[in-house]
C-alpha cells in the first residue's frame, strides 16, 4: 500500500444550523475554487429544498487546492434518515471535521455521526464555530466534547465560518492531522460510489472514491453488487465545476458517467472495478430498507398517470424509496410508498409537488408490522388496512428504535415524560456537562413517526436534539382501528395503534369526520372499531332540506347555475357504500391530522 501524500479526504459532520454550508462556502473561497463574483450562499446545496430548509440531502464533493495539497471535501447529509448514505460518505474519507456551534453545543445526530466516523477509524478534527457570537461559550462546549468523545479540549479549534476567522488555520490542521489515503495504483480497481444523481442529459452521475487501482476514462467497468458492465464515458473531478480527467488514482475523489439510466443501477455503496481485471467488493454494501410508509394519492384523480410517471422519474434519482400501486375506496388510485424516514417522506412528497407540479394527499405514516398468524404463517404489513382480522392473529411485532436525545438539563423531566407517553424504556441517562444531558430510550418507531420530533422540540423550546437507530422487532399489544362509515370501512383511516391509544384515535377521528362528511338523506353512523367491537361513534344526522324556496322569473337563471354546481359536485363524490363523500372531506380529515 502506497501513501498518496498529496491528498486529504475529509467529511464535515455537523448539526443543522451549525454552519456547515457557510464553512464550505468559506473553504471554496479560501482555496480559490470559486471566484468571488460567482459565489453564492450554500454553494454546494443545489436543490431548492436544500437551500430553503438548510439541509443537505445529496452528498456533494469538491476538490480543493490548499498550498501543496489536494483536499477532497465530501459534504454528507446529516439527517438520521440518511444514516446509510452518511456511513458510505465517511467510508470514502480518512478524516471527519466535527463542526459544533459554540453556543449550542454538540447535538444528538452529530454525536451519532461522529461515533460512526470513529468506528470507521476516521481522524476527528473537532471545531467550534460561531465564536464571533456573543452567546458563544467555547470553553464549556469544548469540555462537553472532551467528555462525550474523549477529544482533548485543547485540540479543539475555534473558528468563525462567517467572518473567516481561523479557517486558514483549520485547513492547515486538516493537512497536518488527517492521514493521507493509501492505495496501490497497480492493484485491481476498487472504487466506492457514495452518491449517485440523475441528469436528464447524461444519465447517472456517480460520485466515487478510488481505493485501489486506477479508474480510466473509456475503460470497461464492472459494477460488482449490481453485476453489470458499463463503460466509463467520462471521469472527472469537481472543483467545484466538473472537469473531465483522464484517470483517477488511489485516494482520489471524483465523478463517473457510465451511460446508466437510473440511480438504482449505481447505488450508494456499490463497488466499481475493471471488467478485465476485477477486484473484490468493498465491505459495507447494503440495500437500505424503507422504514416508514404512507399512501400517496393525487388530490385530483385525473392526475394519477402523472403521479405514476413522476414517481418513476424521481426514482431515477432516488432509489431508496419504493412505490407500488394501491387503490383506496376513499382516495381512489394511488401508491403505497416506503421511505427511509419521515424527513425522506416529506422530501419526496415535496419534490413531487414542486418539481412535477402535483397536488397530493398522504395518508398518515405508518411502520412495517409483522403479523404472526395462528395458522403458523406470518405476514409483513406496510398498510394498516391489510392487517388480517384479530381472530387470525397470534401476535404482532413492531419495529423499535434506540433513541438518543440531548437536552439542556432543565428539560430532562419534559423529555422523560414524552418518552414514557410514547411507550419508551429508558436505557441510559448521562450528564455530559452540568447543563446538558444525554438520554437514551428504546421506543417503538411508530411513536417516533407520528409527531414525536415536533413534541420534543416544543417541550424543550427547540433545544433538544434527537437521533435514533433500529433496535429490532418486538411483540407489542397492538390493535387495528377501522373507521366505518355507515358500517363500511374507509381504508384510508385504518391505523394500527397500541391498544391503550385505540380509543383516543377512534374518538378523534370519528369526531373529525362527523364535522367533514356532508349530511346524507339518512342518518350516517361514523364508528371506530377494533375487529367487530365498536369503540367510538358519532352520527351525521340526515339532511332534511336543500330546496330553494323561491323560483320565479329572476330566480330561474340563478337556480340553473346552482344546479350545475350541484351536478358537478355530484360527479366528484366518492361512494363509500351508500354514502356520498366529496374527496375534499377525506383530504381535509387527513391533512388536519397531526
Q: What is the smallest separation between the CB atom of 555 and another protein, expressed in angstroms?
A: 7
Q: What is the largest CA-CA distance in the chain?
A: 97
Pairing between β-strand 465-476 and β-strand 425-431 as defined by DSSP bridges: unpaired
Peptide bond into 240 cis (omega under 30): yes
Residues 76-112: b if buried by 16+ CB within 10 A, e if exposed:
bbbbbbbbbbbbbbbbbbbbbbbbbbbbbbbbbbbbb
Residue number, 1 or 548, with CB nearest to another protein: 548
**Contact predicate 239/285, CB 8 Å:** no
Give residues 105-134 in contact with another protein (rule: CB under 8 A). none
Binding of residue 40 to another protein (CB under 8 A):
no
Q: What is the smallest separation between the CB atom of 577 and another protein, expressed in angstroms?
A: 14
Q: Which three cell numbers stand for residue 490?
A: 374507509
Binding of residue 227 to another protein (CB under 8 A):
no
Residue number, 531 or 569, with CB nearest to another protein: 569
Residue number, 394 or 564, with CB nearest to another protein: 564
**Pick from 280, 373, 475, 562: which binds another protein (CB under 8 A)?**
562
Give residues 570-589 in contact with another protein (rule: CB under 8 A). 570
* C-alpha count within 13 angstroms, C-beta hemisphere, residue 460: 28
Tell me how far apart the alpha carbons of residues 66 and 72 are, in angstroms, rounded to a whole number.
10
Q: What is the smallest separation between the CB atom of 565 and another protein, expressed in angstroms?
A: 10
Binding of residue 566 to another protein (CB under 8 A):
yes
E-assigned strand segments in 130-233:
157-158, 182-183, 190-199, 203-212, 215-216, 220-223, 228-231
Binding of residue 312 to another protein (CB under 8 A):
no
Binding of residue 410 to another protein (CB under 8 A):
no
Residue number, 374 or 521, with CB nearest to another protein: 521
**DSSP secondary structure code for residue 76 in this structure:** -
Q: What is the smallest separation between the CB atom of 543 and another protein, expressed in angstroms?
A: 7
Tell me how far apart the alpha carbons of residues 232 and 147 are, in angstroms, rounded to a whole number.
47
Q: What is the smallest separation between the CB atom of 137 and another protein, expressed in angstroms?
A: 53
Segment interacting with another protein (CB under 8 A) among 153-161, 392-400, 423-431, 542-550:
542-550
**Pick from 564, 575, 584, 591: which binds another protein (CB under 8 A)?**
564
Tell me how far apart the alpha carbons of residues 41 and 517 are, in angstroms, rounded to a whole number.
48
Binding of residue 523 to another protein (CB under 8 A):
no
Q: What is the smallest separation between the CB atom of 546 and another protein, expressed in angstroms?
A: 4
Segment interacting with another protein (CB under 8 A) among 79-87, 156-164, 271-279, 559-567:
559-567
Residue number, 246 or 551, with CB nearest to another protein: 551
**Contact predicate 42/27, CB 8 Å:** no
Distances (CA, A) of 375 to 382, 388, 393: 20, 12, 8
Binding of residue 515 to another protein (CB under 8 A):
no
**DSSP secondary structure code for residue 541 in this structure:** P
Residues forming contacts to another protein in the complex (CB under 8 A) are: 521, 541, 543-560, 562-564, 566-567, 570
Amino acid at each position: 500500500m502506497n501513501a498518496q501524500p498529496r491528498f486529504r479526504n475529509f467529511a464535515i459532520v455537523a448539526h443543522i444550523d451549525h454552519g456547515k454550508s457557510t464553512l464550505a462556502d468559506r473553504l471554496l473561497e479560501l482555496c480559490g475554487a470559486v471566484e468571488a463574483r460567482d459565489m453564492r450562499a450554500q454553494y454546494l446545496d443545489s436543490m431548492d429544498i436544500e437551500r430553503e430548509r438548510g439541509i443537505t440531502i445529496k452528498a456533494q464533493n469538491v476538490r480543493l487546492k490548499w498550498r501543496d495539497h489536494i483536499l477532497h471535501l465530501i459534504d454528507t447529509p446529516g439527517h438520521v434518515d440518511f444514516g446509510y448514505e452518511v456511513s458510505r460518505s465517511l467510508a470514502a474519507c480518512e478524516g471527519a471535521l466535527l463542526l459544533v456551534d459554540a453556543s449550542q453545543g454538540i447535538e444528538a445526530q452529530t454525536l451519532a455521526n461522529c461515533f460512526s466516523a470513529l468506528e470507521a477509524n476516521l481522524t476527528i478534527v473537532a471545531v467550534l464555530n460561531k465564536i464571533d457570537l456573543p452567546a458563544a461559550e467555547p470553553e464549556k462546549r469544548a469540555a462537553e466534547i472532551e467528555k462525550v468523545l474523549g477529544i482533548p479540549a485543547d485540540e479543539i479549534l475555534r473558528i468563525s465560518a462567517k467572518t473567516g476567522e481561523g479557517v486558514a488555520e483549520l485547513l492547515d490542521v486538516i493537512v497536518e492531522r488527517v492521514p493521507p489515503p493509501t492505495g496501490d495504483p497497480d492493484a485491481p480497481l476498487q472504487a466506492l460510489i457514495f452518491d449517485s444523481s440523475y441528469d436528464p442529459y447524461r444519465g447517472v452521475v456517480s460520485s466515487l472514491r478510488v481505493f485501489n487501482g486506477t479508474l480510466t476514462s473509456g475503460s470497461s467497468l464492472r459494477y460488482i453488487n449490481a453485476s453489470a458492465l458499463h463503460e466509463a464515458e467520462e471521469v472527472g473531478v469537481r472543483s467545484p465545476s466538473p472537469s473531465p480527467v483522464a484517470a483517477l488514482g488511489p485516494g482520489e475523489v471524483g465523478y463517473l458517467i457510465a451511460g446508466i439510466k437510473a440511480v438504482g443501477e449505481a447505488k450508494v455503496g456499490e463497488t466499481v472495478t475493471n471488467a478485465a481485471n476485477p477486484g473484490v467488493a468493498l465491505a459495507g454494501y447494503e440495500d437500505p430498507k424503507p422504514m416508514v410508509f404512507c399512501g400517496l394519492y393525487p388530490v385530483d384523480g385525473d392526475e394519477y398517470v402523472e403521479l405514476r410517471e413522476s414517481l418513476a422519474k424521481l426514482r431515477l434519482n432516488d432509489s431508496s424509496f419504493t412505490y407500488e400501486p394501491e387503490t383506496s375506496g376513499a382516495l381512489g388510485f394511488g401508491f403505497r410508498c416506503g421511505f427511509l424516514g419521515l424527513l425522506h417522506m416529506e422530501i419526496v412528497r415535496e419534490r413531487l409537488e414542486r418539481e412535477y407540479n402535483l397536488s397530493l394527499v398522504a395518508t398518515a405514516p405508518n411502520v412495517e408490522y409483522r403479523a404472526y398468524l395462528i395458522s403458523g404463517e406470518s405476514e409483513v404489513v406496510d398498510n394498516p388496512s391489510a392487517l388480517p382480522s384479530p381472530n387470525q392473529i397470534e401476535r404482532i411485532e413492531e419495529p423499535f428504535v434506540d433513541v438518543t436525545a440531548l437536552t439542556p438539563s432543565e428539560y430532562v423531566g419534559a423529555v422523560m415524560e414524552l418518552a414514557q407517553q410514547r411507550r419508551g424504556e429508558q436505557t441510559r441517562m448521562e450528564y455530559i456537562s452540568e447543563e446538558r444531558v444525554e438520554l437514551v430510550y428504546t421506543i417503538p418507531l411508530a411513536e417516533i413517526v407520528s409527531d414525536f420530533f415536533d413534541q420534543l422540540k416544543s417541550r424543550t423550546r427547540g433545544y433538544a436534539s434527537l437521533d435514533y437507530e433500529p433496535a429490532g422487532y418486538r411483540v407489542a399489544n397492538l390493535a387495528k382501528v377501522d373507521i366505518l362509515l355507515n358500517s363500511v370501512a374507509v381504508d384510508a383511516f385504518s391505523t394500527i395503534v397500541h391498544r391503550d391509544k385505540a380509543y383516543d384515535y377512534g374518538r378523534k377521528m370519528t369526531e373529525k369526520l362527523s364535522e367533514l362528511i356532508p349530511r346524507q338523506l339518512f342518518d350516517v353512523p361514523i364508528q371506530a372499531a377494533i375487529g367487530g367491537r365498536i369503540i367510538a361513534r358519532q352520527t351525521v344526522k340526515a339532511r332534511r332540506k336543500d330546496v330553494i324556496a323561491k323560483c320565479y322569473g329572476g330566480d330561474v337563471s340563478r337556480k340553473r347555475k346552482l344546479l350545475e354546481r350541484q351536478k358537478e359536485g355530484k360527479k366528484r363524490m366518492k361512494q363509500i357504500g351508500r354514502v356520498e363523500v366529496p374527496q375534499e372531506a377525506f383530504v381535509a380529515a387527513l391533512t388536519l391530522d397531526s
